[in-house]
Amino acid sequence: MNPITRKLMMERIADHPKLELMPFTKLIAFSPEGVRAIHKGKGVAFAPFDTIILYSGMEPGNSLAEKLKEFKGEMRIIGDAAEPANIETAFEQGLPACNTI
């Protein structure tokens, strides 16, 4: 998501009266009795509710690069394999790499 759209969306979500944003929260369990989580290092419990929206961070998807560690040729790790970003970033990294082949 581009930065401007993301900023506007987050502002709309933050202002919604029925939503609570809880960064730094790890969900532990869902059950008919409610939800258990760890929020900023402390255990918390929530009464049952209808909807939960998860927005989690991303990690590089570089499993292929790991398998090619012994490759003796030139290799560049770009895009989400290097660092999760967006399609524009992947293109900006990929085009120069492609032009040097």
User: Looking at residue 79, what is its pLDDT?
Assistant: 85
Q: Which amino acid, one-letter code, is at 46?
A: F
pLDDT tens string 28-44 = 998 889 999 999 999 99
Q: Which amino acid, one-letter code, is at 7?
A: K
User: Looking at residue 38, what is its pLDDT?
Assistant: 95
User: Looking at residue 44, what is its pLDDT?
Assistant: 94
Cβ–Cβ under 8 Å, residues 25 and 38: yes
Candidates 95, 71, 93; CA nearest to 81 is: 93
With bands split at pLDDT 50, 70 and 90, how would you rate the model's confidence at 1? low
Residues 6 or more apart whose CB falls under 8 angstroms from that of 93 comprise 78, 79, 82
Cβ–Cβ under 8 Å, residues 19 and 13: yes
